[in-house]
């Protein structure tokens, strides 16, 4: 059976750090942008606000669309819509007791090129941090 979903995610810079979600699956630990699936009837903004509150306990302001990309496997197609969010000045980190999501934490931008970020959009995020971008970007297709 095939699955299709829309996922929203956020890029949130606090000082020289970015907010990331640390995942652990099949003994692999990696980072993703915080966010999650859009539920039926939700706007993209409503879904992002809900997910960020559930995962990190924050309610940032939506700034603008940054990236769109497709994630494809043999059985799944997920369209990812990523926004720049603002309005959070401080974050202590949040550990969870979920199976996959281990924690939401700040990671120094200087470490961005050395972490396992999935999909591997480290350089795209670095460009946004360096210049705050020029507009939305379609990042293409990532195959898993």
Give the domain CATH number at 45: 3.90.79.10
pLDDT per position as a tens digit, 1-25: 689 999 999 999 999 999 999 999 9
**What range defines the domain where residue 130 resides?**
3-143
- What is residue 130's predicted lDDT score, i.e. its pLDDT? 85
pTM across the whole model: 0.88
Banded model confidence at residue 133, pLDDT cuts 50, 70, 90:
low
Phi, psi of 41, deg, nearest 5: 90, -10
Q: Is 65 exposed, middle or buried (0-12, 13-18, 19+ CB in 10 A)?
A: middle
**How many angstroms separate the CA atoms of 103 and 125, rounded?**
20
pLDDT per position as a tens digit, 72-100: 999 999 999 999 999 998 888 777 777 89
> How many domains does the chain contain in total?
1
């Amino acid at each position: 059976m095939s699955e299709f979903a829309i996922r929203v995610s956020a890029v949130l810079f606090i000082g020289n750090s970015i907010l990331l979600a640390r995942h652990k699956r099949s003994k692999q630990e990696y980072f993703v942008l915080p966010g999650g699936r859009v539920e039926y009837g939700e706007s993209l903004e409503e879904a992002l606000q809900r997910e960020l509150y559930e995962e990190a306990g924050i309610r940032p302001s939506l700034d603008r669309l940054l990236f769109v990309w497709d994630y494809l496997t043999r059985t799944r197609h997920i369209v990812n819509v990523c926004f720049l969010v603002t309005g959070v000045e401080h974050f202590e980190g949040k550990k969870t007791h979920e199976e996959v999501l281990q924690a939401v934490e700040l990671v120094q931008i200087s470490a961005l090129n050395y972490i396992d970020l999935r999909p591997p959009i480290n350089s795209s995020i670095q460009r946004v941090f360096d210049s705050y971008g020029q507009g939305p970007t379609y990042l293409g297709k990532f195959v898993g």
